[in-house]
Amino acid sequence: MKNIILFLTFLLFFTGCSQKNAFFAFDMDKTKELSASSLQSSKIVSQNGDVRGIFSAIYLNEVYPETFNEHEYFFIFIYLKEAKELHSVEDGIESSLKLTLNSKLPVKIKKLPKENQFSHLIDTTNNWNTYYLVAFETADKINLSLSDEKSLSAAILKYKKE
């Protein structure tokens, strides 16, 4: 009995001296850190307060500045209770769901599959989200807005441009 108590005392002493803490499991590479700091999400809320979905974006110019620097690029993922496509003049998609940057429509919208070149930037992918790569003209400030004219709902994300 004496040996067991002595053994448990030493075990407790040496375990308490461990260098591990809660953050050792959060080992992220530089890209993952930048995407986590750039990720913003907002509820898509109608005028009467109903939540219609979730709008999330990663500002790719901050994550990959050497690649995405000619326009303002975003990796967008949207969950809507009622599935809709983003309005895209380029692809001929007429929709009440419009994405704007400072009230201007995008110059390019590319719908992406669930597994895509940006999937590693987010922790979860699912079948309910719709994923897009969106480019806008270069801007001094970044107010990204998603609005649905039909259901009168909207969400706004603001980024600080450096």
Q: How far, in Å, CA of 129 to CA of 48, rounded?
A: 24
Structural contact between residues 110 and 93, judged by C-beta atoms closer than 8 angstroms: no
Average pLDDT over residues 133-156: 87
How much is the average pLDDT of 18-46?
Answer: 76
Looking at the chain, the whole-number percentage of residues with pLDDT higher than 90 is 30
Half-sphere exposure of 13 (CA within 13 A, CB side): 6
Determine the pLDDT at residue 31.
80
Give 54-77 pLDDT, tens digit per residue.
999 999 999 999 998 899 999 999
- How large is the average pLDDT for residues 101-119? 91
